[in-house]
Amino acid sequence: MKNFTFFFVLITLLFSSCQQKKSSIEGLWIVKSVAMGDQEMTPNARWMKFNADFTQESGNGWFQHSIGTWNMNQETKELTVINTNGINDTAPPFVVTIHGESMTWTRTEEGQPVKVTLEKAAKLPTTYGDQLLGLWKLDSLEGKGSFFDENGFLFFRWDRRFNINSSVGKFSGVYNVHGHKPEVELIPYGNDLKRSFWKIDFKENKIALTLLNSDSTVTRSFSRIHDFPN
């Protein structure tokens, strides 16, 4: 009888341990969707990592921008996240539901229901800006533009600066990548050139930039290279 009782307790503990591990919030999670009311506002490549020591960090793509702590009320399943380098969250805690590799957060903000869906991940996602980094050679062009011409190249640097070299001339400036859409804004130094907004189409080791602030079609297609042209 004692052996049976011990065996029963052991099985119960093992089952409980497996269930806790299965539903654990610990680890790396990627945000797949964010909805507030009927509006979709999913950020690009947003992730959060919850550590066993109740610390957490988060970011977008390869850029980590937040650190802090987390706590889960095991009875109510309410999640509290505090960013020590961020702004205080005055909304109620998220109520968390975990199903294997998927997790859902829900709460109300400004009278609107908010739902966040996340998935477990093994590595960091990449943003549109991460994919842009590096050196690109101009392959083809359609329409007239201020920057690019034949035999040109475009260099997106890690410090959010860009360099352009073509038969039109040499240009440099800063760039901003949209946080929700595949778009990039080029802001050249100097007063003779205006800022421009481009839609990005990604393919393997290739990009196509289509000018958005133009009445006519302006497209520039590039291939990734690893050495600066002579």
Number of domains in the chain: 2
114 and 206 assigned to the same domain? no
- Residue-level pLDDT at 215: 85
Domain termination residue (choose one: 74, 91, 121): 121
Predicted pLDDT at 146: 67
- Opening angle at CA 184, ends 156 and 41, nearest 5: 130
Tell me what pLDDT residue 144 has.
Answer: 80
pLDDT digits (tens, 9 = 90+) for 50-66: 999 999 999 999 999 99
| Domain that includes residue 158, residue range | 128-225
Report pLDDT for 167: 76
- 39-48 long-range contacts (CB < 8 A, ≥24 apart) are 41/180, 42/180, 43/179, 43/180, 44/127, 44/128, 44/178, 44/179, 44/180, 44/181, 45/124, 45/125, 45/126, 45/127, 45/130, 47/121, 47/124, 47/125, 48/81, 48/118
Give every residue of the chain whose pLDDT is below 70, as ranges.
1-23, 146
Give the whole-number percent of the chain exceeding pLDDT 70.
89
Domain stop point among 121, 148, 180: 121
Tens digits of residue pLDDT in 197-213: 999 999 999 999 999 98
